[in-house]
């Protein structure tokens, strides 16, 4: 299958008023790359100066606990972006990013982003979108983990990432929600009936 920049361009045109020649120049700065399942795209605490746009596949962002266990903090699916939160930390990644399926991803390097922000000076709406998507989403994840019950968060997961339950291994989803794999299995079954005992032991 031949891949191109049309999905990325449609996404960008929502936020940036490109002229045709400007969009062509921007595209020429980017690259389309294929990754295999389990490939790591961004490593925690390493430099990352690119933003990524998913054409095909699912990625998982995760951090490490003090016990060196992985903790999943979000997912990304087709036509969404990710950065490893490096843009808010002097370009040092605050999370690792791994492919959960074979993926096709557009890499948007710093030079291309700088072209929009500082050369064209057309990035106000795009900058706001990136901030709201990446930072506010993480903030909501942290707050929701303390204020919402697990059934609400399960439904939020389904709503935010359509079909994610079918695409991600159950133990990873359980890790994201902060429950045991066994409890997640019961949660999944009971969600089909529209109810779950939130205070059930995990």
Q: Is the pLDDT of residue 200 over 60?
A: no
Which residues lie below 8 Å from residue 190, measured CB to CB, with a gap of 6+? 196, 197
CATH architecture of 6-147: Sandwich (2.60)
For the record, the structure tokens of 164 come out as: 């994610």
Tokens of residue 130, six digits: 């990136």
Whether 83 and 9 have beta carbons less than 8 Å apart is answered as: no
pLDDT, one tens digit per residue, over 176-193 is: 999 999 999 888 887 766
What confidence tens digit (pLDDT) does each residue in 145-176 have? Answer: 889 988 889 888 888 888 898 999 999 999 99
Span between the terminal Cα atoms of the chain, in Å: 44
What would the mean pLDDT of 47-68 be, rounded to a whole number? 94
**Contacts of range 169-176, beta carbons closer than 8 Å, 24 or more positions apart:** 169/100, 172/60, 172/72, 172/100, 175/70, 175/71, 175/72, 176/72, 176/73, 176/74, 176/75
Break the chain into its structural domains and give their ranges. 6-147, 148-202
The whole-number pLDDT of residue 192 equals 67
Q: What does the DSSP 8-state code read for residue 92?
A: B
């Amino acid at each position: 299958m031949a891949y191109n920049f049309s999905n990325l361009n449609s996404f960008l045109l929502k936020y940036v008023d490109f002229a045709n020649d400007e969009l062509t120049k921007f595209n020429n700065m980017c690259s389309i790359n294929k990754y295999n399942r389990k490939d790591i795209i961004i490593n925690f605490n390493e430099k990352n100066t690119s933003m990524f746009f998913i054409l095909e596949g699912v990625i998982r962002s995760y951090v490490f606990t003090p016990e060196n266990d992985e903790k999943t903090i979000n997912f990304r699916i087709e036509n969404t972006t990710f950065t490893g939160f490096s843009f808010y930390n002097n370009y040092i990644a605050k999370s690792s990013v791994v492919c959960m399926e074979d993926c096709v991803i557009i890499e948007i390097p710093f030079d291309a982003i700088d072209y929009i922000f500082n050369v064209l000076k057309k990035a106000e709406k795009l900058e706001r979108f990136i901030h709201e998507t990446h930072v506010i989403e993480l903030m909501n994840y942290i707050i929701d983990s303390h204020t919402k019950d697990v059934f609400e968060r399960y439904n939020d997961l389904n709503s935010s990432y359509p079909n994610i339950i079918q695409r991600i291994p159950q133990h990873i989803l359980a890790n994201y929600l902060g429950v045991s794999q066994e409890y997640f299995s019961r949660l999944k079954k009971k969600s089909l009936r529209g109810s779950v005992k939130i205070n059930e032991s995990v």
